[in-house]
Amino acid sequence: MRILVINSGSSSLKFQLMNMIDREILCKGLIERIGSAEGTFTYSRGNGEKIVETREIPDHETAISLALQAITDPQAGVIKDLSEIDAVGHRIVHGGEKIKKSEFLTDEIIRIIQDCVRLAPLHNPANLLGVKALKKLLPDVPHIGVFDTAFHTTMPEKAYIYPLAYEYYKKHGIRRFGFHGTSHHYVSLRAAEILGIKPDKFNCITCHFGNGVSISAIQNGKSVDTSLGFGTMAGVPMGTRAGDLDPDIILYLIDQLKMSVTEVRHLIYKNSGLKGLSGLTNDMRDIVEAALAGKKRPKLALRIFTRSARKMIGAMATVLEGKLDAIIFTAGIGENNVEVRAMVCEGLEILGARIDLQKNLIRGKEGIISTDDSRIKLMVVPTNEELMIALETEALAQGARKN
């Protein structure tokens, strides 16, 4: 089965064609600056040959047409005809409360995604543009949505209900949703496989450390708590996002400093977190380098980030009542930043997790980084959201064929 995986953003589009027999990436591409006269199209086949073009890309339908042309191009393509694509898997950020698993993108499901635009105004509209364009260009192929929020719908009420007046949940749907679910799901499954534990018996804490950050507690293979909440602001400080803030700070900014809601939103989403603390950048690599060189604010940013992450891991361990097999690091920072992992793991001995500083030197590949006598395994597992989307798509598409 050949599956096309699509991640449609507001001005970008990522795509990947996979052969599911051996999980081979046949080709992949990235289209940026959609809506611009100077859009960029980057495409490579599985053997690494890369094509980069600059051209006008007025809309998402044009972007997807370019992708499909490249995939079937006589010289650069990997298939002869679009009929060789068996299914399309779409990354969808928000499915709200109603969508609890991957779904065929029927008119009803698309209406639910549209209704969730109010919850994810930056992402769901862009996801829908990709869905509508591809369904138009590939009308006879199954289209399946894989939702970032779906993995977290197994959280119990006590984890997702906020202590606001209860009617705000009942009338307005204000609750914890959680994000990065596809990543948390994938790395938990892969870690269980590495350790030889059945997924439905596996208890772990997954740490997705990228420009966005979330930490999840997974019990018997299901998400039972996560650090991100109603939106993508809560929990550990992120690249440009503040993470947890006392709500009184927001009120103070508005009431006393006379900032508008737009100004506050820009501050806490775009000019806070690692960038705001360090005064330099949102890139953890540069922050670590500056901190090691003795610069005060980058050092402070690093300490705040790692302390907050360690504190959240401790909280998630209590959610799991100490029944914990592994703590897993993933995404750009989690997979590659040796110093951050080491600092986060300082003090986790109290949980029974002891880092091996030599094993921790790995970057960008799978490995166990805890000592041999550590009760809890510390692991690095590179995320692969595209593969997870493809696997979910394959399972649904094959199930439909059998029926």
CA-closest candidate to residue 2, choices 105, 90, 84: 84
- Asked if 289 and 296 touch (Cβ cutoff 8 Å), the reply is no
Residue with tokens 């400080």: 237
d(CA 77, CA 59): 22
Dig out the tokens for 389 from the structure: 């989307």
Strand 326-330 and strand 204-209: the pairing is parallel
Instruction: Give the side-chain half-sphere CA count within 13 A for 232.
Output: 24
CA-closest candidate to residue 53, choices 80, 81, 26, 73: 73
- Asked if 67 and 28 touch (Cβ cutoff 8 Å), the reply is no
d(CA 113, CA 125): 9
- Cα distances from 12 to residues 15, 77, 134, 346, in angstroms, run 10, 21, 15, 39
**DSSP H or E segment with residue 249:** helix 247-255
d(CA 313, CA 225): 11
Strand boundaries in 79-221, DSSP class E: 87-92, 103-104, 143-147, 204-209, 213-219
Q: Which of 148, 255, 283, 286 is catalytic?
A: 148
Whether 283 is a known active-site residue: answer: no
> Catalytic positions, please?
148
